[in-house]
Amino acid sequence: MLTMKRATISAILVALIIVPPAHATEEPEIDIEALNQCLLEEVKTAGPETTAAEIRDACLIKVQNVKTAASATPDEPDEPADDSPLNDRIEGIKATQELDYVITPYKPNYLMAAYNPDPNNAPFQEAFPDEEIDFNPAEVKFQISFMFPVVHNIFGDDGSLYVAYTNRSFWQVFDSELSSPFRETNHEPEVWLQFSRKKKILGLTSRLTAFGFNHQSNGRNEPISRSWNRLFARFIFEKGHFVFSVKPWIIVGSRDGNPDIRDFMGNIEVRGAYKFDRHTISLMLRNNLQSGFSKGTFEVDWSFPIYRRVRGYAQYFNGYGESLIDYNVHTNTVGVGLAFTDYF
């Protein structure tokens, strides 16, 4: 039995090495010894549904990545590694966005119990003067966010058009006296054109640049209707396991129910994220440059592994604009829950 198993593995190894990938146009230089070792290990552990071609392609990628990392010179320390968190996210998006019945995540998707010691009751008391509105400080906050590619390579080998939708909801699930209503739900569709050419800037590597349009509203009638439209740019940089993004915008069109939203939400958002040992910590800063930093906002997020794809998620928000109904109210909110997708 052992001899037969060895013969079977040897036959598979030979087939894997001799048959080139269908998509290869030229055979790269390969460390055959490392490839054979990888193939042997993969064949031993592969499931019954795994094909020989899948084993071969996986090992070719591993061997080539190891060789690329080993050949990097000290003169190029800032070159993005193939196994960087941002590169993994980019490759993950490429792998899922062309698959049928698969939704590609955009912003983090999470579900958490949140606590705000001073809920904003004023807009609802104004809208419903005959009702006693007193929201519970504890509620459930969740976000659903996904993206979809429309077309790739608009300008030669670069330029992709994307659309996305993000839903962020605040659910008074613990307030039985008010029949557990949704205090606020923000809808945020957007469209953008994205470029992915690499360029060194101030010690960072520019990976992605985007220009697009964003609409956000709470879908309510007056007097609690809130909405705004923005033309935005987004610049994403990386250095090792650190990712940094800058997102400036210009407000355009009408601002229903919130004509002064620029004074509180500002015109730029900066986010930094660092990943280590499957933990991700991110910090978001937002401010109106004309406010003298009197209306600043920051948000700290921490995601950590729990079980397989389910991650723990903790968030602290301090400032203006956690939701559109609270755009002009300073809030302090802390939340703990589960994340199903992350920034990377």
**CB burial class (10 A; 0-12, 13-18, 19+) of residue 280?**
buried
Dihedral through CA 14, CA 18, CA 21, CA 26, nearest 10?
150
Give the gyration radius of the chain's Cα atoms: 25
Contact of 239 with 89, CB cutoff 8 Å: no
236, HSE (Cβ side, Cα atoms, 13 Å): 20
**Phi, psi dihedral angles at 343 (to 5 degrees):** -65, -40
**Interatomic CA distance for residues 272 and 198, integer angstroms:** 19
Q: Is 112 helix (H, G, I), strand (E, B) or coil?
A: strand
Active site residue 217: yes
| Residue written as token pair 């997102």 | 247
Q: Across the chain, which distance is largest between two alpha carbons, in Å? A: 84
Active site residue 152: no
Active-site hit among 145, 160, 169, 217 = 217
Active-site hit among 215, 225, 241, 330 = 215
What single-letter DSSP state applies at residue 1? -
Contact of 172 with 178, CB cutoff 8 Å: yes
**Interatomic CA distance for residues 56 and 20, integer angstroms:** 9
Whether the CA torsion 234, 337, 146, 216 is positive or negative: it is negative
Q: Is 90 helix (H, G, I), strand (E, B) or coil?
A: helix
DSSP calls for 254-308: --TT-TTHHHHH-SEEEEEEEEETTEEEEEEEEE-TTTTTTT-EEEEEEEEEEET
Identify residue 303 by its one-letter amino acid code. S
CA neighbor of 107 nearest in space, from 319, 253, 269, 308: 269
Residues noted as catalytic: 215, 217
